[in-house]
C-alpha cells in the first residue's frame, strides 16, 4: 500500500515542483471580459459527468484541491500563443521500437488537433546524453533516468523556432528523487518544458490502451503549461491522478469549463476542434473518445436546431 501511494502520475511531481515559480508576464484577457460563457460552452455542459466521492488511494482523497474558476484562470498569468510562440515540440530520447515510433507520431497528430497548434517532433537523440549520475536501477531491475536532469540539463538547452511548449518523451523509466519509486513525468511550467516516459504505458500489449494513456498524459501536462489547474468539476482529462488505474477511469475529454479556459486565449473554432478530434479518434479506433466528441457535436447541433 505504501508503494501504491508513491506511484503518482506526471501531474503530482510537476504541479508540486512549480507552485513557487512565476511565469513571465504575458498579454492576458481582460479579467472582466467575457465572464458570460459563449453558447457553445453552455451547450456541451450537459455532457459533463460529475466526479463521485473520492475513495482511498485516489487523488482527491489525499489532495483537498479547491479547483480553479474561469475568473481565477483569466486573472492568473499563463502562457498564451502568439505569432512569435505558437509551436509545440516533442523531443524523443532513447531507442524506440517501431510501435513506439508510431505512437509518438500519433501523439504529435493528437496534440496538434487538441490544442489547435502546430506540433512537431524533433530529431531523436541517444540515451547517452544522460550521464551515470542521473541514472539508477529501479526496484524491478529497470534502468531509470532522473527526470529533473532532463528538464534542467537537456531541455533548457534546446533552442526551438517559435516554440511555446517542449516535451521530451523517453523510452526509459523516470524517477524524480531517490526516495521515489518512479514518476510518469515532470514539468516546469515557468520554463515551458516537460518530460514524460513511454515505459510504463507499454506494460500491456494493447496498442490502443497504451496510446489512450499517452494522449491523456501529454495533453494533461501541456494543458498545465497553458494555465489549466486540476479539474474538480467533472470527469476530465485535467483531473489529478495517483495511479494508472485512476488515469484509465478518467475520460480523455476536456470538460466544458476547461475547454472554455483553453479557448479564451487560443481563440480557435470550437466546432472545428471537436470535428477534428472525432475524426482522429475514429481513424485510430479509440471508441470512447469518438463517442465523447460525437455527444458534444450533437449537443451543439441540437441547440442550433431548437433556436
Alpha carbon 37 to its chain centroid, in Å, reads 24
How many other CB atoms sit within 10 Å of the CB of residue 294?
14
The DSSP 8-state label assigned to residue 133 in this structure reads G
**In which element (H, E) is residue 196 found?**
strand 193-197
Query: Which bin fits 165, alpha (ψ -120 to 50), beta or left (φ > 0)?
Result: beta
* Helix axis angle, 207-225 to 287-306, nearest 10°: 60
Which of 121, 91, 124 is CA-nearest to residue 108?
A: 121
DSSP-based helix, strand, coil % in the chain, nearest 5: 45, 15, 40
Catalytic residues: 221
- In the DSSP assignment, the letter for residue 33 is S
Question: Can you spell out the DSSP letters for 140-153?
Answer: TS-EEEEHHHIIII
Amino acid at each position: 500500500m505504501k508503494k501504491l501511494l508513491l506511484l503518482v502520475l506526471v501531474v503530482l511531481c510537476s504541479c508540486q515542483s512549480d507552485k513557487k515559480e512565476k511565469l513571465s508576464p504575458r498579454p492576458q484577457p481582460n479579467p472582466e471580459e467575457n465572464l458570460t460563457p459563449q453558447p457553445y460552452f453552455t451547450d456541451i455542459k450537459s455532457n459533463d459527468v460529475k466526479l463521485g466521492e473520492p475513495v482511498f488511494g485516489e487523488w482527491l482523497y489525499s489532495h483537498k484541491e479547491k479547483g480553479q474558476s474561469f475568473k481565477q484562470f483569466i486573472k492568473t498569468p499563463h502562457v498564451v500563443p502568439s505569432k512569435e510562440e505558437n509551436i509545440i515540440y516533442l523531443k524523443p530520447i532513447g531507442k524506440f521500437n517501431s510501435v513506439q515510433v508510431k505512437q509518438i507520431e500519433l501523439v504529435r497528430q493528437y496534440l496538434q488537433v487538441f490544442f489547435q497548434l502546430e506540433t512537431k517532433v524533433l530529431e531523436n537523440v541517444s540515451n547517452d546524453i544522460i550521464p551515470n549520475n542521473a541514472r539508477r536501477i529501479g526496484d524491478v531491475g529497470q534502468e531509470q533516468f532522473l527526470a529533473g536532469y532532463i528538464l534542467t540539463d537537456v531541455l533548457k538547452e534546446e533552442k526551438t523556432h517559435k516554440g511555446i511548449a517542449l516535451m521530451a518523451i523517453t523510452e526509459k523509466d523516470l524517477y524524480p528523487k531517490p526516495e521515489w519509486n518512479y514518476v510518469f513525468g515532470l514539468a516546469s511550467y515557468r520554463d515551458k518544458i516537460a518530460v514524460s516516459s513511454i515505459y510504463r504505458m507499454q506494460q500491456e500489449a494493447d496498442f490502443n490502451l497504451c496510446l489512450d494513456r499517452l494522449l491523456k498524459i501529454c495533453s494533461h501536462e501541456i494543458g498545465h503549461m497553458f494555465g489549466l489547474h486540476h479539474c474538480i468539476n467533472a470527469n476530465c482529462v485535467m483531473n489529478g491522478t495517483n495511479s494508472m488505474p485512476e488515469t484509465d477511469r478518467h475520460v480523455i475529454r476536456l470538460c466544458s469549463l476547461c475547454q472554455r479556459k483553453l479557448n479564451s486565449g487560443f481563440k480557435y473554432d470550437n466546432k472545428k476542434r471537436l470535428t477534428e478530434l472525432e475524426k482522429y479518434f475514429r481513424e485510430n479506433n479509440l471508441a470512447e473518445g469518438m463517442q465523447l466528441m460525437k455527444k458534444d457535436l450533437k449537443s451543439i447541433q441540437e441547440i442550433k436546431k431548437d433556436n
